[in-house]
Amino acid sequence: MPARTRTEPAQPKGTAYAAALRALALRRLTEVQLRERLSRRGFADDAVDGAVARCRGEGYLDDRLFAQLYVEGRRKAVGDARLVAELVRRGIEREAARAVVDAAEFDEGARLDSAIERLYRIRPALDYPHAARALERLGFPAPSIYRRLGARAALEFGIDDRGFEESPGGRA
């Protein structure tokens, strides 16, 4: 038997459908992720298409459910833009990802409040600019960040909504 060269693809073992079921048994995948895995394993495009269609038809593959579970199971509080981008990177269509994120149990404001609380719990002496940058890196929109951080500072330092310090006898 001649030695196999590097340019020859390895023949996959079993059927594409069986390989798809094994992959889905290990973890939930999007349609794009499953296609990529099966193609990397050397299955022909027709076999991959058939396996993906069969998995979708039997309910083993559901991109919308994947997106919902991903958003609900996300432990780290991040902004809507980042959630949508992460779903798109995993193969979910942008419109579907946006719809799932918009329908999430916790809205962006609640996730932002949670991120601020966690940030200050871990680093209580964090200054305003560093906190804002950290929250922006998590994908929260700047106007929301500045509004929430401003409200937090007002409560913490006793400043009213016009920027005046409140004195015990009234306004300063």
**52 and 75 inside one domain:** no
The pLDDT mean for the chain works out to 86
User: Looking at residue 171, what is its pLDDT?
Assistant: 47
Q: Is residue 7 part of a domain?
A: no
The stretch 57-61 carries a mean pLDDT of 94
The stretch 128-155 carries a mean pLDDT of 91
Question: Which range marks the domain in which residue 120 is found?
Answer: 107-172
Query: Of 7, 31, 61, which residue sits at a domain end?
Result: 61
**111 and 167 inside one domain:** yes
Q: List, for residues 30-47, the tens digit of each pLDDT value.
A: 999 999 999 999 999 999
Do the Cβ atoms of 143 and 136 come closer than 8 Å? no
The stretch 97-120 carries a mean pLDDT of 92
**116 and 101 inside one domain:** no
**118 and 170 inside one domain:** yes
Q: Is residue 76 part of a domain?
A: yes
In the block, tokens 């002496």 appear at 125
> What is the value of pTM for the model shown?
0.72
Query: Of 105, 136, 162, which residue sits at a domain end?
Result: 105
**83 and 95 inside one domain:** yes
Q: How far is Cα 89 from Cα 109, in angstroms, rounded to an integer?
A: 24
**80 and 119 inside one domain:** no
**55 and 93 inside one domain:** no
CATH of the domain at 53: 1.10.10
Q: Which of left, alpha, beta for 4 (phi over 0: left; psi -120 to 50: alpha)?
A: beta
Q: How far is Cα 8 from Cα 11, in angstroms, rounded to an integer?
A: 9
Tally of structural domains, the chain: 3
User: Looking at residue 152, what is its pLDDT?
Assistant: 87
